[in-house]
Chains A and B, each alone.
Chain A
Amino acid sequence: MRTIKYLLQKEFRQIFRNKAILPLILVVPIVQLIILPLAANYEVKNINLSIVDHDHSAYSRQLISKITASGYFRLIGYNHSYDAAFRAVESDKSDLVLEIPNGFERNLIREQHEKVFIAVNAINGVKANLGGAYLNSIIRDYNMDVRTRLTIPSKTASVPVFEISATNRFNPLMNYHLFMVPGILAFLVTMIGGYLCALNIVKEKEVGTIEQINVTPIRKYHFIFGKLLPFWVIGMVVFSLGLLVSWLVYGIVPKGSIVLLYGFLAVYLLAVLGFGLLVSTFCETQQQAMFIAFFFVMIFILMGGLFTSIDSMPQWAKVIAALNPVTYMIEVMRMIVLKGSRFADIIPHLLKVLVFALVLNSWAILNYRKTN
C-alpha cells in the first residue's frame, strides 16, 4: 500500500513538473470544446445572395423581403443585370443569384404563372445544395401565399393545402452544438487518456528508468496500477472541465443523471488507459508510441460516429464501429446528455466497454511479462 502511495506521489509530481503536458491537459479541452463545435457545423447560414430585380413591383419586393427575412440569406446587393450579379459570384462575393424578370407581377396576376431564374455557385457543394433548396422552398411558400390570396376572394371554400412539418424529438431547434459537444467531449477524454498513458510508460522505457524499477521488488501490477490511476484521475478532471465549458459556453446541462455519466466514464477510462498501456508494451520509443496511438485514435474518432452517423455506414464499417470503444462513449454521452437515458438504457454499452477494459488491460499485462 505504501509502495502504491509513493508510486502515485511520484507520478503526480512528474506530471505537475512537466511544463509542456500540464498546460496541455488544462487548455486543450477548453480550446477544443470552444473551437471545434463552432467549426464542425453542417448547418448553412449566411448564404450570400445577389438579386437582379427587373420588375420593381410590390410582388417582387414581397418575395425579396420574404427571402431576406428567413435568416438564411445575406443580401449582398441588387444588380442591374445578370452579368453584374455573375461577376459578384465570380469574385466569390455571392453564392446565389436570383433574377426576377420584367413583368413578374403582371404575368403572375394575368397569366397565373411566371418564372424566376436562380443561379447557384456550386464550388462549395454543401452550401450550393442547401442554399438552392432553401431558396426553392421559400419561393414555393411564397407561391402558395400568392395562390391563396388570388383565389380566396373569388371562392368561399378555401383551397385544400397540405403542410408537413417535422419537429426533432430531442433537439427541436436543431442546435448543432447540442449534438456535437457531448461527442467531442468523449473524443477529448479518449485522446488525453490514451496518449498520455502510452507516452508516459514508453518514456520510462526510453529513459531507462524502467530498468531501475524492474530490479526493485515493485510488483508488475503495482507499477501498472500506479501508472493507470493518475491518468484515470486526469481523465476525470478533463471531463469535468469539459462539462463545465459546455455548460458555460453552450448552456448544455445533461438531461440524465450526472452520477450515471461519471460511472460510465469511470469504466470507459479503464478501457482507454488499457489501450494506452497496450500500445506502450509494443513500443520502445515515444515516437513509435505516438504514431501507433495516433493511427488508432484517428480510426476510433472517424469510425466512432462523431461526425458521420454509424447507422448510415456500410455493413463492414458498422463492424469496425462496433469494435471501437469510442463508439459507445459517444453514444452514451449523447444518450445521457441529450435524451436523459437511464441506467437500464446504457447497460448494453456498459457491458461492452467493460469487456474492452478487461481484454485490453489483460492483454497489456500479459504482453508486459513477455518482454521481461
Chain B
Amino acid sequence: MMEAIVLDHITKTYGKEKIPAVNDVSLTVKSGELFGLIGPDGAGKTSIFRMLTTLLLPDKGSASVNGHDIVRDYRQIRNTVGYMPGKFSLYQDLSVEENLKFFATVFGTTVEKNYDLIREIYVQIEPFRKRRAGKLSGGMKQKLALCCALIHQPEVLFLDEPTTGVDPVSRKEFWEMLQRIKKKNITIMVSTPYMDEASQCDRIALIQHGNILSVETPSAVIRAYPQQLYAIRSEDIYKLMKSLRSNPLVDSCHSFGEYLHITLSEQGMRAEAALLAGLAAEGHGNVVLKEIIPGIEDCFIRLLKN
C-alpha cells in the first residue's frame, strides 16, 4: 500500500517563541486511510495541516503528500489536495451555488464533472443553493465547505476540526459522510479535539504541545491501556473525589460526567474490597464501583501524565 502522507522530523516554531508549535513530528498515513489527529486546542494540529497544504514552511524536516515534496512540489500538491480550514473560509457574500462553481473553476474543472462525488452531501444543501453562504447555519456551512474541498476530486482531503461548533446530530452525519468519501479511495486526514470521534478513524495520532504521543488504531490505543479502569460514584461526588485523590490505593482519579474514572495501584478483587471498605468507613453513602473499558480520552489522559 502506498503512503499518502509522510512527515519526517517536522519542526515549526513561530516567531521568537522558544517552544515549538510542532516538535520533531514523524508519521505516515497510508493511502485510502481515514487518519485522525486528536489533541486539545494549541496542540499543533492546525500547524501540521498548514504545512501539509503548503501554506506554511517547516523550519526543519521534510514532508510529502502523494510523493510530492511540500516545499519543492507545492504546485502539484495544490492541484491534488482538498483543504477545509477550521474557520469557515468560503465567500460569505456569494451564494452556495456560486461558491461551488467558483472553486470548481479555479481547479480547472466543472461541477457537473464531479457531481457524483459530492451528490450525497450537496443534495442536503441544494434547496438553499441561491442563499448566500454567510446566511447558512453552521452545519450547512460545513457541508458546503466539504463540497468545495471535494469538487476537484482530490486524492487527499485535509479537514481541520470540521466538527468544532457543530451540533451532535450534524457531527454524527458528518462522520458518516467521511466514511462514504473514504470508500471512494480518498485519503482523509482529519483533526478534532473531541476524543469520542477518534473511534471513527482507522488510525489516530494523539498530539499534545507539538509532540506526538502515540500513533495507533483506536482499538490498539485502548488495548494498550495497562490497568483495569473503574468508574465510581457516590452521593457526594466532590467529597468522594477529594478522599480518592488522597487515598494511597488510588493511582489516578479523573472526573467523567457523573462518574469518576479511577485506576488502582494494586490489581484484583482484594484491592477493590479494601477501597470500598475504606470509603464506607469515611462515611460515603451509595458508593457504586464498576469495571469499565477505557475510552480514547482515558488513554489520552494517561499518556499526558507520563
Residues of A within 8 A of B (CB): 2-3, 6-7, 10, 13-14, 17-18, 207-209, 211-218, 372
Q: A217 near B108 (CB under 8 angstroms)?
A: yes
Chain A residues with CB under 8 A of B55:
211, 214-215, 372
For the complex formed, measure the closest distance between the CB of A220 and the CB atoms of chain B, giving whole angstroms: 11
* 9 tightest A-B CB contacts, nearest first: A208-B89, A6-B105, A215-B83, A216-B106, A212-B89, A208-B87, A215-B53, A217-B79, A217-B78
Q: B107 near A216 (CB under 8 angstroms)?
A: yes
Q: A215 near B81 (CB under 8 angstroms)?
A: yes
* Choice from B78, B93, B98 contacting A216 with Cβ under 8 Å: B78
* Choice from B54, B90, B98 contacting A209 with Cβ under 8 Å: B90
Chain B residues with CB under 8 A of A217:
75, 78-79, 106-108
Q: B89 near A209 (CB under 8 angstroms)?
A: yes
Chain A residues with CB under 8 A of B148:
212
For the complex formed, measure the closest distance between the CB of B182 and the CB atoms of chain A, giving whole angstroms: 21
Determine the residue in chain A with the shortest Cβ distance to B84. Answer: A212
Interface assignment of B103: CB less than 8 Å from any CB of chain A: yes
A217 to B75, CA, bound (A): 7
Q: A2 near B105 (CB under 8 angstroms)?
A: yes
Q: Could you say which of A2, A7, A10, A18 has the most chain B C-beta atoms within 10 Å of its C-beta?
A: A10
18 additional contacts (CB under 8 A) given A10-B94, A17-B93: A2-B105, A3-B106, A10-B91, A13-B93, A207-B89, A207-B92, A208-B85, A208-B87, A208-B88, A209-B89, A209-B91, A211-B85, A212-B148, A214-B55, A214-B78, A215-B55, A215-B81, A216-B103
Interface assignment of B102: CB less than 8 Å from any CB of chain A: yes
Q: B94 near A212 (CB under 8 angstroms)?
A: no
Interface SS, A side: helix
A209 to B93, CA, bound (A): 11
A207 to B92, CA, bound (A): 9
A218 to B148, CA, bound (A): 15
Interface CB pairs A-B, < 8 A, 6: A10-B102, A208-B87, A209-B91, A211-B89, A214-B78, A215-B54
Which chain B residues (47-105) contact chain A, with CB distance < 8 Å? 53-55, 57, 75, 78-79, 81, 83, 85, 87-94, 98, 102-103, 105
Determine the residue in chain A with the shortest Cβ distance to B79. Answer: A217
Which chain B residues (96-140) contact chain A, with CB distance < 8 Å? 98, 102-103, 105-108
Determine the residue in chain A with the shortest Cβ distance to B89. Answer: A208
Q: A14 near B93 (CB under 8 angstroms)?
A: yes
For the complex formed, measure the closest distance between the CB of B59 and the CB atoms of chain A, giving whole angstroms: 15
Q: A218 near B94 (CB under 8 angstroms)?
A: no
For the complex formed, measure the closest distance between the CB of B193 and the CB atoms of chain A, giving whole angstroms: 19
A152 to B54, CA, bound (A): 96
Q: B105 near A3 (CB under 8 angstroms)?
A: yes
Determine the residue in chain A with the shortest Cβ distance to B83. Answer: A215
A228 to B93, CA, bound (A): 20
For the complex formed, measure the closest distance between the CB of A54 and the CB atoms of chain B, giving whole angstroms: 75
